[in-house]
Amino acid sequence: MKETYYLQQLEEELIIALGCTEPVAVAYAAALARKEAGYDDIETIVVSASVNIFKNAMGVKIPGTEEMGVAMAAALGAVAGDPDRSLQVLENLQVKDVEAARSLIAAEKVMLEVSGSDPVLYIKVSVHTKSGSGSSVIAYKHDLVLELTRDDKLVYKNDMQLSQDLEDSLVEDDIANIWEFAQTVDLEKLDKVREALELNMKIADAGLKDGYGIEVGPSIREQISRMSLSDYCASRTAAAADARMAGASYPVMGNSGSGNQGLTATVSVAAAAEYLNSSRETLLRAVTLSHLLAIHVKKAFGRLSPLCGAVPASIGAAGGIVMLMGGGLEEVIAAAQNMFGTLTGMICDGAKAGCALKVSICIYAAVQAAAVAMQGNSIKMTDGMIGSDVEQSMINMKHISKEGMADMDSTLLRIMMSKNQKKDQ
């Protein structure tokens, strides 16, 4: 029963995406809406989306282009998106498609609005053409279509009862069950983890070789003559984030709706396995542990959160690195507590090139947290927000994210938009 549950989690939460998932989800919604409206000339595109969608699309490049933002994502999705390709909707973009999308924006045919009291992850795109109209609604998950309309008539409605986030009960045995699964699952059942390794290591190699964004990964590698375990893991993982944030046309296996989280949970552990000369079996089990821990911790943060998503992913990575070091469940829990006490307040100020630096910091912390745990030490409940056990620490993080930072996303979006307004003046 538990094995089925965790295999299902891997299947549902490890999703392939080309590009940052927020703008790509907008493009997917736009492609769906255009399909319902028909392929006559576009007259208007209207996007209503939650604050987090705007925040995470504003500063990250759309794959295959030098463009950014919700308006461009929607225009590209409507012009050239393949609605059958889900979060790989923009994989066949051509130069002419980018020009057509720019023309729609220049003609003020793309209109944006921040949605009100909708879910934290919410996108509605309406497309009007000369011959008809169509709309789509994506919510809760980046690839979850809730509604489609054609000429104002409902043609599809998803009746599933869905939670806004990765909500679940947080109980004492959760991490123990994840550990047991990772230790015992038949390796033949881990095809999703193998695919994550194949895709995510490919973009990491590209990031180191070709140089993208602000080149965090190459900078770490080139400035340090004799690399430690933490240097090696940080450079490999940051290089992958460099490339993804710069719009490199490589699909990645995300975790809990985020490509960077998928990269963090995968590449860091694979790099540690390379450095430590671990066996293939140990690597597969450690990456499985990393991904499932990241999904589990993400329940506390929320799928889209004011807190940086690299943190829960790097908590998973710390657990995977502990396994590679020969540690057990006790050390995995200690490493998680060390991470909670270290990276408590790292905020998410949108997807952008600088995310690679945040990823690198998280990986340095993960390796240190694992090393301290392997010495039998962890941060105690006398320290700040650390709970009496790791699940209580997760609950405390939930309070920080959803209560203590309730207005953080709106504040960040105002700051980011004010910068754009000043630039346009």
Percent of the chain with pLDDT over 90: 76
201 and 125 within one domain? no
233 and 152 within one domain? no
Domain boundaries, position 69: 16-157
In a domain, 166, yes or no: no
Q: Are 321 and 286 in contact (CB under 8 A)?
A: yes
178 and 151 within one domain? no
In this predicted structure, the answer to whether residue 59 has a pLDDT above a threshold of 70 is yes
In this predicted structure, the answer to whether residue 67 has a pLDDT above a threshold of 90 is yes
106 backbone φψ class: left, alpha, beta (φ>0; ψ -120 to 50): alpha
Mean pLDDT of 212-235: 92
What pLDDT was estimated at residue 118?
72
132 and 214 within one domain? no
In a domain, 310, yes or no: yes
Contacts of 372 (CB under 8 A, 6+ apart): 334, 335, 338, 378
Residue 363 sits in a domain whose CATH number is 1.10.4100.10
Tell me which of 102, 122, 157 is where a domain ends. 157
Provide the number of structural domains found in the chain. Answer: 2
Which of these, 284, 271, 270, 265, lies nearest to 185 by C-alpha position? Answer: 284
In a domain, 165, yes or no: no
237 and 138 within one domain? no
Residue 64 sits in a domain whose CATH number is 3.30.1330
Mean pLDDT of 279-294: 97
In a domain, 8, yes or no: no
Indicate yes or no: pTM above 0.85.
yes
243 and 110 within one domain? no
pLDDT band at 38 (very low <50, low <70, confident <90, very high): very high
In a domain, 162, yes or no: no
In this predicted structure, the answer to whether residue 424 has a pLDDT above a threshold of 70 is no
What pLDDT was estimated at residue 21?
93
Report CA Rg, the chain. Answer: 21
Mean pLDDT of 46-64: 92
What pLDDT was estimated at residue 317?
98
One-letter amino acid at 285 equals R
In a domain, 420, yes or no: no
Q: Indicate the pairing of strand 110-114 with strand 42-49.
A: parallel
220 and 287 within one domain? yes
210 and 67 within one domain? no
